[in-house]
């Protein structure tokens, strides 16, 4: 842009050009100011003219700069979103690994093959319609249960007939407990029975089944529970002395034990646990405490081919 100065001096005019910065506004006209000094030139008129090519070039440069800045901002935003997405996915993986196992970096990984029900579209649709149409959500849930009841509900494999419990000269310090099953127990059934007997033995060995110290179970229900530590410490302890291995012959089993002291509470705990196993898992026809013989049991039978096995407790 240049400034053109028109100086009026009588009949002659003086044209003065001076460079200046470009302005985006149209040319402006400043009104003449009169000087009171007689030794100076007469007043002149100043006109600002804009170079069209220079303004157009500067406009294009500004637009290019703005476009480049917008593109950089867009790229930065996309990069930040990508980084946040990656961090979010890593956090989800860490949480899933923590829930499934100890660690996802070389540690224990459990339940890897299980389905991720948090991302089940059908279940999400049911939850989304709960507020808008509860009846519709309920119908969808009932339909889902009908289709997948075999995976959700597990039928009991035990027996509805109550387990028979008998005593035959039972001695707390030296006796067998005999089992008679309706069917030959499977490996998983034997494992469950061994775990139940092992837990029973550990609780008894630690004195957990002491009927002489039943302060809470014998206290009135309408009063606040209280426990006297001195009384509990002075009670005669009961300790489960020893237990043998679980021996199985077809649908029969036995286990030798030495409880040591006469503690009927220990027997009640075992009977309650085996009753639940008989109802839910594998039917137990008869449970007999004591006795040296039991129906078709064969002494000194050790061959696995004959259906004999030993399981350590």
For residue 302, pLDDT over 90 is answered with no
Mode of pairing for the β-strands spanning 45-49 and 164-167: unpaired
Question: 207 to each of 199, 201, 210, 216, 217, how far by Cα in Å?
Answer: 13, 10, 6, 16, 16
202 and 135 in a single domain? The answer is: no
Task: Give yes or no: residues 35 and 127 share one domain.
Answer: no
Distance (Å, whole) CA 82 – CA 85? 5
Domain containing 128 equals: 117-152
* 199 and 268 together in one domain: yes
Task: Say if residue 26's pLDDT is above 60.
Answer: no
Q: What is the pLDDT of residues 50-91, one digit of tens each?
A: 455 555 555 655 666 666 666 666 667 677 767 766 766 665
Give per-residue pLDDT as tens, 104-122.
Answer: 444 444 444 555 555 677 7
Q: How confident is the model at residue 98 (pLDDT cuts 50, 70, 90)?
A: very low
70 located within any domain? no
- Please tell me the total count of domains within the chain: 3
Residue 39 lies in a domain: yes
133 and 270, same structural domain?
A: no
Lowest mean pLDDT among 136-140, 170-174, 239-243: 136-140
Backbone angles phi, psi at 167, to 5 degrees: -125, 135
Whether residue 273 sits in one domain with residue 293: yes
- On the question of pLDDT at 6 being above 60, the answer is no
Question: For residue 165, with 0-12 CB atoms within 10 Å meaning exposed, 13-18 middle and 19 or more buried, which class applies?
Answer: middle
Q: Which of these, 232, 249, 258, lies nearest to 313 by C-alpha position? A: 258
> What is the Cα–Cα distance from 303 to 250, expressed in whole angstroms?
12
Question: What DSSP string runs through 231-250?
Answer: HHHTSPP----EE--EEEET
Based on the domain organization, do 169 and 249 belong to the same domain?
Answer: yes
The secondary element (H helix, E strand) that includes residue 278 is helix 264-280
Residue 241 covered by a domain: yes
Residues making up the chain, counted from first to last: 313
Chain mean pLDDT for the chain = 75
Together in a domain, 14 and 35: yes
Is residue 223 one of the residues assigned to a domain? Answer: no
Same domain flag for 275 and 172: yes
pTM value?
Answer: 0.53
Structure-token pair, residue 200: 């029973």
Angle between helices 264-280 and 187-205 (to 10 degrees): 160
Does the residue 133 lie in any domain? yes
Same domain, 207 and 263: yes
Of the spans 70-74, 135-139, 214-218, 248-252, which averages the highest pLDDT?
Answer: 248-252
pLDDT digits 0-9 by tens, 172-213:
999 999 999 999 999 999 999 999 999 999 999 999 999 999
Instruction: Indicate which CATH number applies to the domain containing 267.
Output: 3.30.70
For residue 90, with 0-12 CB atoms within 10 Å meaning exposed, 13-18 middle and 19 or more buried, which class applies? Answer: exposed
State both tokens at 243.
Answer: 């237990």
The encoded tokens of residue 188 equal: 């998983």
């Amino acid at each position: 842009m240049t400034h053109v100065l028109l100086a009026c001096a009588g009949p002659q005019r003086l044209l003065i050009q001076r460079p200046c910065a470009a302005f985006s506004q149209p040319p402006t006209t400043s009104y003449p100011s009169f000087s009171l000094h007689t030794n100076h030139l007469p007043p002149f008129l100043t006109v600002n003219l804009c170079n069209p090519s220079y303004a157009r070039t500067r406009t294009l440069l500004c637009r290019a700069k703005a476009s480049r800045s917008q593109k950089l901002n867009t790229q930065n935003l996309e990069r930040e979103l990508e980084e946040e997405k990656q961090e979010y996915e890593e956090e989800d993986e860490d949480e899933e690994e923590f829930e499934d196992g100890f660690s996802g970096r070389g540690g224990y990984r459990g339940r890897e093959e299980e389905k991720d029900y948090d991302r089940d579209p059908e279940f999400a649709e049911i939850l989304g319609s709960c507020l808008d149409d509860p009846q519709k959500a309920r119908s969808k849930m009932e339909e889902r249960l009908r289709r997948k009841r075999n995976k959700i509900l597990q039928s009991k494999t035990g027996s509805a007939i109550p387990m028979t419990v008998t005593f035959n000269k039972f001695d707390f310090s030296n006796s067998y407990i005999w089992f008679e099953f309706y069917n030959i127990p499977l490996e998983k059934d034997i494992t469950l029975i061994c775990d139940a007997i092992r837990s029973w033995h550990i609780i008894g060995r630690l004195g957990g089944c002491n009927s002489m110290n039943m302060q809470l179970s014998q206290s009135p229900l309408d009063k606040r529970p209280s426990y006297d530590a001195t009384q509990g410490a002075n009670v005669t302890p009961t300790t489960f002395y020893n237990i043998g291995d679980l021996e199985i012959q077809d649908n029969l089993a036995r286990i030798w034990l030495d409880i040591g002291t006469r503690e009927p509470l220990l027997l009640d705990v075992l009977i309650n646990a085996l009753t639940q196993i008989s109802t839910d898992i594998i039917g137990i026809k008869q449970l007999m405490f004591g006795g040296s013989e039991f129906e078709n049991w064969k002494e000194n039978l050790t061959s696995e081919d004959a259906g004999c096995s030993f399981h350590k407790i």
